[in-house]
Homo-oligomer: A and B are copies of this chain.
Amino acid sequence: MKRSIDSQVRNHDLVSQRRDDIVQAAIRVFRANGFHEATTRMIAREANVTQSNLYNYVRTKGDILYLVCEHLVGLYEEGLAKVLEQHADPHARLIGGLRAILAIMLQHKDELVLLYNETHALAKDDRRQILKSVSRLNGAFQRLIAEYEAAVGPLAVSNRRVAANLMTFVPAIVALRWWDLSTHARWDEIEDQIFAFVLNGIGVSPKTG
């Protein structure tokens, strides 16, 4: 499902360890400079790797961006999966899912900006791959909604895909508008109000009962 990226290095553990370093380093560098202004030298330095050794773990600068984006969408997928394991009730699952997305967004807002800012710098195929992951996330929410509606009744937003997109997109406000939100509201205020806003918007009550 993920695109595999060739490496000159055999040792699998080493590869994934170094790639982690590279991804983390790249995130820092990309945040500070953006993908295009970032140089492979910067990334290498930040990852404690020589510039040439970098290329033993990655084939191109574009690969690094892909790795970063893959990591970032992975955050959602993991976060959502973890929550869904814990709940069986459709209502709890739906609001749990939303809570998860929102929490992840808040926790990783600095990195996740990249997912919105730099996706278009991906190579075409890489981009398709990443969008497919987002699509999958939407699909997951679409199913949660379907289950909810089957159990509880219809949402206020009739098209389930639209509703799903709203649930996965609105939390991004935290990453993309933090510069404004943070100067006018407290963290918990922001989290609670956005959470409530989305539930109200799609017509779901926050509590079971």
* A binding-site residues for B, Cβ under 8 Å: 34, 36, 113, 116-117, 120-121, 131, 134-135, 138, 156-159, 161-163, 165-166, 169-170, 173, 176-177, 179-181, 184-185, 189-190, 193-194, 196-198, 200-203
A-B contact pairs, 24 of them (CB 8 A): A34-B120, A34-B121, A113-B120, A116-B176, A117-B117, A117-B120, A131-B179, A156-B196, A157-B197, A158-B189, A159-B184, A159-B185, A159-B190, A162-B181, A162-B184, A162-B185, A163-B193, A166-B170, A169-B173, A170-B170, A170-B173, A198-B201, A200-B201, A200-B203
Main secondary structure of the interface of A (DSSP, over half): helix
B117–A158 CB distance below 8 A: no
Whole-angstrom CA separation of A161 from B194 in the bound complex? 12
Q: Which residues of B contact A159 (CB under 8 A)?
A: 184-185, 189-190, 193
Also in contact, A180 and B165, with CB within 8 A (given A34-B120, A116-B116, A201-B201): yes
Q: Is the CB of B135 within 8 A of A180?
A: yes
A113 CA / B120 CA spacing, docked (Å): 10
Partner of A176 from B138, B169, B185 at Cβ < 8 Å: B169
Q: How many chain copies?
A: 4
- Which residue in chain B gives the minimum CB-CB distance to A142? B184
Task: Provide the residues of chain B in CB contact with A200, threshold 8 Å.
Answer: 156, 200-203
- CB neighbours of A166 from chain B (8 A): 170, 173, 194, 197
Chain B residues with CB below 8 A from A165, complex form: 173, 177, 180-181
Report B-chain residues with C-beta under 8 Å of the C-beta of A157: 193, 196-197
